[in-house]
Structure 1
Amino acid sequence: MSSELSIVYAALILHDEGLEITADKLQALVKAAGSEVEPVWTSLFAKALANQDLGALLSNIGAAGAAAPAAGGAAPAAGGAAEAPKEEPKEEPKEESDDDMGFGLFD
């Protein structure tokens, strides 16, 4: 199992138990699972998830507004989330064939 995946599972376990996600707790869970991870990874994950609502992140995985906070934008309000405008499929210009020009490959 990859080290990142081990840390993600450990973070999910801590969240599920309602515990604070810290580097020490992540490292303890990863070690108890029989994996070895460099401490720098657990501290990076702990810092990244420090002020995040993990439940909201998990429930908005496929939402269109989920990418906005990661890019530095503001997330839409829960009650007034606007739907993303649907894009019309673009019609590609029809390519002309050699037959239309009056000559072919073997003429």
Structure 2
Amino acid sequence: MSIGELACTYACLILTDEGIPITAEKIATLLKASNVECESYWPTLFSKLAEKKNINDLILNVGAGGGVGGAPAAAAPAVRGAVEAAPPAEQKKEEIEEESEEEFGLGLFD
């Protein structure tokens, strides 16, 4: 997000909080008063957004987004062939224990 976008966002929030109708001129005035320079099209875009959407509704819907991780999904039913092909967990543990540092020449005190 550019500084111009962020400044226009804050300007819209300020105007909404004060109960002042949001226009491109008022956004530009707030940006000028705060000594922020941005492209001239940002205030117009944000004022058009404010005409179509209620800023208070946008503020209240921040927590209603779908970006939260939530609970893990349920496991899918296993296919019969996949279960039979997978080796038991006990065999995997034995294979790991059989490998030692000596086989790789990584002993510290050799």
Q: What is the rounded CA distance, in whole Å, between the counterparts of 2:25 and 2:87 in structure 1?
A: 65
Is 1:30 matched with 2:31?
Answer: yes
Match of 1:14 in 2: 15
SS of residue matched to 1:28: helix
Q: Retained in 2: the 8 A contact 1:7–1:45?
A: yes
**CA positional deviation for 1:88:** 6.3
- Coordinate RMSD, CA, aligned: 3.8
Q: Retained in 2: the 8 A contact 1:27–1:37?
A: no
Task: Give a deviation string over 1:51-77, Cα, whole Å, max 9, x none.
Answer: 321111101111159xxxxxxxxxxxx
Change (3 A) 1:31 1:88: same
The alignment-based identity, stated in percent, is 34
TM-score, normalization by structure 1 = 0.61
Match of 1:90 in 2: 74
Structure 2 residues not aligned, in runs of 5+: 100-110
**In terms of Rg, which structure is larger?**
2
Match of 1:74 in 2: none
Q: What is the rounded CA distance, in whole Å, between the counterparts of 1:56 and 1:18 in structure 2?
A: 14
Structure 1 residues not aligned, in runs of 5+: 66-85
Map 1:65-104 to 2 at 5 A.
Answer: 89-91=73-75, 96=87
Task: Give a deviation string over 1:7-55, Cα, whole Å, max 9, x none.
Answer: 1010001001111111111011011101001111110111111132111
Q: Which amino acid aligns with 1:56?
A: D
Is 1:5 matched with 2:6?
Answer: yes
Q: Retained in 2: the 8 A contact 1:26–1:42?
A: yes
